[in-house]
Amino acid sequence: MAIRFQWYGSLSAADFPVTAFEQLRAQVTDATPFNTLAWLQASEFALLPDQQLHVLLGWQDQDLLLCLPLISGQERVGGLRFRVLHHLGYPLADRIALLARLDADGMGQALTQIRQYLPHALLQLNEVVEPVGEQSVLSAWMAMSSTGERRLSCRVPVHLISASDHQEISGDPRYKLRRARKRIAACGAQIRRITPDAIGMGPLLRTLAEVEAASWKGEEGVGIFADPRRRQWMNHAFTALAAQGLVRVVTLELNGECISYRLGLLDQGRLYDYNLAFLPQHADLGSGRVLLEEWIRWGLDDNWRWIDASRVSLENSSHQLHERMTGQLEHWRWSFYSWQPDGLLMGFALRLWKSLKPWLGKRRARPTVTTASSSSKRQENTHASPSDHQR
């Protein structure tokens, strides 16, 4: 396959091939809202001063077969600084598909282009989804790297909307949902569905950001509005996506004030549950579960097919969609270490850590066993459950 490669320094360049980009995205079945030009351009506007954008395009005749927007920056690892490449949108893009329709040979040529044009220690692609039952096109890069790693990031619960959703959920979740509804009804709060346009998105985002700032996410600085850069990013991204009709919000309002919300992106009948927050003084209402149920009801009304948690923790996830899930999707993190001295060093450190990790785990387990034995003799027992920090 004869591929012609081309580099762009911006997705907003006057001559960027927008039509060809949209055609390519439409041909990639697993593409998500985080692959849209609207999201990517907003991500570009939010880059830090020491980050640079480089967009690699791959053409065969007049057909665009590859679009890979990469951000280049310095990252500190073990006290040393290394040049690292990430897909544009990291770390707030919850799920991406690689916009590539190249074969293994073409992908090999693309990696050679990247290494020649952007010397680096590590190229890392996060939250990548892949077609079920098919070998990833990224596999071609493993053999070309000094060290390569494919690591599971998370298993995302998904819910297939069906006629059975007209019936009340069974088991313990039913009673939790009923209790939450009773508490909400008792205080007089109202659920509201919102499909914002570009004009209404700005004021709505300010409201959502205020709720997040007052929540535990604001206190810990982990939310999507956590700092001015992220707020600018979300404002640009969601305003552009709202203009395309892709944004959905469900809120719980008390006396006209938003006290809880879920923010989602709807694309091709799939709702990505992106972010949620609630005011701490109303934490006992159980609003998150009720608003998730509202997603499902909205989906029934408007013929959505899927509701996904866009991302969850790999271990001990507390996302409420686990109670309703009909399946799971896997996100993967691919890491490719170069043959440059710094890439070799980072790859060696990774392999060394992997070889030592089981041994260190056993060392740490020994005092735990002793402590547990002693605690048993004293008939004492403690239990801790880690929390799941969702967006």
Return the closest-CA partner of residue 20 out of 6, 30, 32.
6
Same fold for the pair 4-146+338-354 and 158-328: yes
Which residues make Cβ contacts (< 8 Å) with residue 256, sequence separation at least 6?
Answer: none
Q: What is the pLDDT of residues 44-77, one digit of tens each?
A: 999 999 999 999 999 999 999 999 999 999 999 8
Under DSSP, is residue 329 helix (H, G, I), strand (E, B) or coil? strand
Helices (H), the chain: 18-27, 37-45, 104-117, 139-142, 172-187, 198-214, 216-220, 228-243, 287-302, 341-377
* 281 SS3 class: helix
Map out the domains of the chain as residue ranges. Answer: 4-146+338-354, 158-328
One-letter identity of residue 380: E
Closest CA to 45 of 200, 223, 234: 234
- Could you count the other beta carbons within 10 Å of the beta carbon of residue 44? 21
What pLDDT is recorded for position 2? 84
Choose between 387 and 203: higher pLDDT: 203
User: Is the peptide bond preceding residue 33 cis, with omega within 30 degrees of 0?
Assistant: no
219-257 pLDDT, tens digit per residue, is 999 999 999 999 999 999 999 999 999 999 999 999 999
Helices (H), 244-314: 287-302
Best CA proximity match to 129, nearest among 320, 328, 386, 336: 328
pTM, rounded to two decimals: 0.89
What integer pLDDT is reported at residue 391 of this predicted model?
A: 53
Q: What's the whole-number mean pLDDT along residues 300-317?
A: 93
Please give the Cα distance from 186 to 182 (Å, whole number).
Answer: 6
Q: Which residues contact 356 (CB under 8 A, 6 or more apart)?
A: none
Within its chain, how far is the Cα of 182 from the centroid?
A: 33
pLDDT-derived band at 377 (thresholds 50, 70, 90) equals very low
Where is pLDDT greater, at 262 or 358? 262
Q: Which residue has the tokens 């039509």?
A: 19
- Which class would CATH give 158-328? alpha beta
Q: What is the CATH number of domain 4-146+338-354?
A: 3.40.630
- pLDDT of res. 366: 66
**Three-state SS at 345:** helix
Mean pLDDT of 105-133: 94
Q: Is the model's pLDDT at 369 over the cut of 70?
A: no
CB distance 8 to 57 below 8 Å: yes
pLDDT above 70 as % of the chain: 92
Mean pLDDT of 306-314: 92
